[in-house]
Amino acid sequence: MNLENSIGIFDSGFGGLTVFSSITKILPDYNYIYLGDNARSPYGDHSFETVYQYTLECVEWLFSQGCPLVILACNTASAKALRNIQQLDLSKKYPHHRVLGVIRPTAEVIGTFTETNTVGVLGTRGTVKSGSYIIEINKFFPKVQVYQQSCPMWVPLIENGEHDQEGADYFVQKYVGELMAQAAEIDTILLACTHYPLMVPKIKAYISSEIKLISQGDIVANSLADYLVRHPEIANNLGRQGEQLFYTTGDTETFDQHASVFLGKEIQSRKLKR
């Protein structure tokens, strides 16, 4: 089965499934192809060039499968590859295709959650080093102070199914502690990595119950719904049979096991061979 005119959803691994889950809840009728580049995950510590090259390859594959619209459900790819893809590749090679990221829609609303105008951002090293959240949040909420902390061990823990085990506590306490030590006024923490919602139960144990913990899934889903209303030329060309396909560059059995944790349902993924 090859779905025509699907919405492509891409992540370095499983994390984008948190976004996929929110999107398909509010927009269940569209066709979707999810691609996780698990064989080359995590992206967090790769160079700008490598993340751009890997992301472009995956986006082009989704285009080849009939996806006119692709969501980069990955902050690292959104921070390091989206701009190049939009400015260099789409305009030259794919003028009718669209690629959207997760940083801008999140930056557009994050300032509405904080009462102290102080937001903490937890992300991969790549996302944090790019400074993308500081730049984007400042555009929409210039009064909001942004403090960042990278959590390089979290994606490997999640990709290996260790995130809910005792060993994970050390790294949750460490990174959350380092973030909160930067500013006691932080009243809103953004999980700026689509893998991190799986860490929520552990994170809650190390922060005050007053602090708002914001995951991106619903924010990105609402933003996509709004985008489709504003862009009928894209929306009207999308298939609406409610079909969903999952591909991974990694091991399908492992993907299926993990995906059921992220999605709360069983799926059968296909292997994308390179």
* Size (the chain), residues: 274
Q: How far is the CB of 130 from ligand DGL (least distance, A)?
A: 10
Residue 112: CB atoms within 10 Å: 9
Contact 255, 269 (CB under 8 A): yes
Let me know if 151 is a catalytic residue: no
CB closer to ligand DGL, 54 vs 61: 54
Among 58, 67, 151, 193, the one annotated catalytic: 193
Query: Given candidates 30, 43, 63, 175, which one binds ligand DGL under the rule CB under 6 A?
Result: 43
Q: DSSP letter for 70, please.
A: E
Q: How far is the CB of 229 from ligand DGL (least distance, A)?
A: 26
- Angstrom distance (rounded) from CA 35 to CA 20: 11
Scored b (16 or more CB within 10 A) or e, 138-173 reads beebeebbbbbbbbbbbbbbbbeeebeeeebeebbe
CB closer to ligand DGL, 11 vs 89: 11
First to last CA, the chain: 19
Q: Does the footprint of ligand DGL cover residue 124 (CB under 6 A)?
A: yes
Sketch the per residue contact string, 135 through 174, with ligand DGL: x for CB under 6 A, - otherwise.
Answer: --------------------x-------------------
- Angstrom distance (rounded) from CA 259 to CA 73: 15
Please report how the helices 103-110 and 132-140 are oriented relative to each other, as an axis angle in degrees rounded to 10: 50
In this structure, what token pair is assigned to residue 130? 């790019």
Let me know if 67 is a catalytic residue: no
Query: Given candidates 44, 101, 111, 197, which one binds ligand DGL under the rule CB under 6 A?
Result: 44
Query: Given candidates 127, 149, 248, 249, which one binds ligand DGL under the rule CB under 6 A?
Result: 127
Query: Given candidates 3, 7, 10, 11, which one binds ligand DGL under the rule CB under 6 A?
Result: 11
In this structure, what token pair is assigned to residue 147? 């403090």
Interface region with ligand DGL, contact rule CB under 6 A, candidates 166-174, 192-200, 220-228, 233-241: 192-200
Provide the residue type at 158 as one letter: I
Interface region with ligand DGL, contact rule CB under 6 A, candidates 135-143, 193-201, 237-245, 254-262: 193-201
Contact 107, 155 (CB under 8 A): no
Give catalytic residue positions.
Answer: 74, 193
List residues binding ligand DGL (CB under 6 A): 11-13, 15, 41-44, 74-76, 124, 127, 155, 193-195
